Structure 1
Amino acid sequence: MIFDDFSLKTLIRPVPDFPKPGVVFRDITPLFQSPRALRLVADSFIQRYVEADFSHIGAMDARGFLIGSIIAYELNKPLVLFRKQGKLPADVLAEPYQTEYGEALLEVHSDSLCEGDKVLVFDDLIATGGTLLAAARLVRRMGASVFEAAAIIDLPELGGSERLADAGIPTFALTAFALDER
């Protein structure tokens, strides 16, 4: 990694009691307000994946789009958008999933991937793993496979990275936070 875990953590703002009481939201917007920090984060992922054997980057709505698109551009890989329900204009495949706050539906254009494609799925955060697991199920429904799930932040106490591992999906995150860590 290009910079240490501590300096990355200082750029992620804890927002207590958002979106509901008892939750500490990990806000990555300060990271995007620093051109140097954004470059360091993007470069960390680019260095990790520059020689990796995958064909596409799948980015999760909405914060996963921010870094996922930069990585796709820099690595010259096609970008597949995984969106919240009702946001895509053409034929979609949909997959229900559980979040830490309730249920949701993830969609992807049905022609986004082909059999044999290998996808790096990307989000800003791994919490319960619901979004990334739903994306993995969609990827598999199109005959493709998941290369790895990547995120800026992991919240290991919520079990998402463990659920992904149990599903045979390796994970990578630049940093991790304990639930009570400020």
Structure 2
Amino acid sequence: MDFKEYIRVIPDFPQPGISFKDITTLLNNGEKYREAINELKSMVSDLKIDLIAGPEARGFVVGAPLAYALGVGFIPIRKSGKLPYQTIEVGYDLEYGSDRLAMHSDAVKPGQNVLIADDLLATGGTISTSVKLVRELGGNVVGTAFLIELSELNGRDKLPGIDVFSLLTY
């Protein structure tokens, strides 16, 4: 299945020179969305996965249904200040500034195997920060899964030794 026909490409968004990959056109097609999640499930089914973690917000729309399909739990990774219980946080740099991601301090038990899922792998900043959070709690990151990978931005380089599974590559 070529899922690219279900991804809307928007030139010059959010700024000139960027070719934005809009997944909403895949998400609003129930049959194709289900097929995409099932394809990701097939890609990672040989891994021993206890939990799936997904950074907000689009990591939720990939990670949660993938966790459901695999019969494992889901961990939301949120921006700082968004989770109600005690958290751990890790900062990361953005193109024009910085931000912090947080996870509940009891979300992962030492030795649990965690797959991190998101909609897009670009520069790898969000995912490498998510990896740090899981590892800080003693979790074992067994891989990462994405709907889309933008290969020219070399996000894989920030994930040494971690398997990367991508449904689509641009």
TM-score by length of 2: 0.94
Q: Is the Cα–Cα contact under 8 Å of residues 59 and 122 in structure 1 kept in the other structure?
A: yes
Aligned counterparts, 1:7-156, within 5 A: 7-100=2-95, 102-156=97-151
CA distance in 2, matches of 1:74, 1:176: 23
Q: Is the Cα–Cα contact under 8 Å of residues 43 and 165 in structure 2 kept in the other structure?
A: no
CA distance in 1, matches of 2:89, 2:18: 28
TM-score by length of 1: 0.88
Q: Is the Cα–Cα contact under 8 Å of residues 15 and 25 in structure 1 kept in the other structure?
A: yes
Gaps of 5+ in 1: 178-182
Gaps of 5+ in 2: none
**RMSD over aligned Cα atoms:** 1.3
Counterpart residue number, 1:180: none
Q: Is the Cα–Cα contact under 8 Å of residues 100 and 128 in structure 1 kept in the other structure?
A: no
Deviations 1:69-115 (A, max 9, x none): 11111211010111112211111111111234542211111110011
Aligned-residue offset at 1:170: 1.5
How many equivalent residue pairs?
A: 170
Deviations 1:140-160 (A, max 9, x none): 110111000110000111110
Greater mean alpha carbon deviation, residues 15-24 or residues 85-94: 15-24
Q: Which has the higher strand share?
A: 2
Counterpart residue number, 2:167: 174
Q: Is the Cα–Cα contact under 8 Å of residues 11 and 31 in structure 1 kept in the other structure?
A: yes
Query: Percent of aligned pairs with the same residue?
Result: 38
Greater mean alpha carbon deviation, residues 42-51 or residues 152-161: 42-51
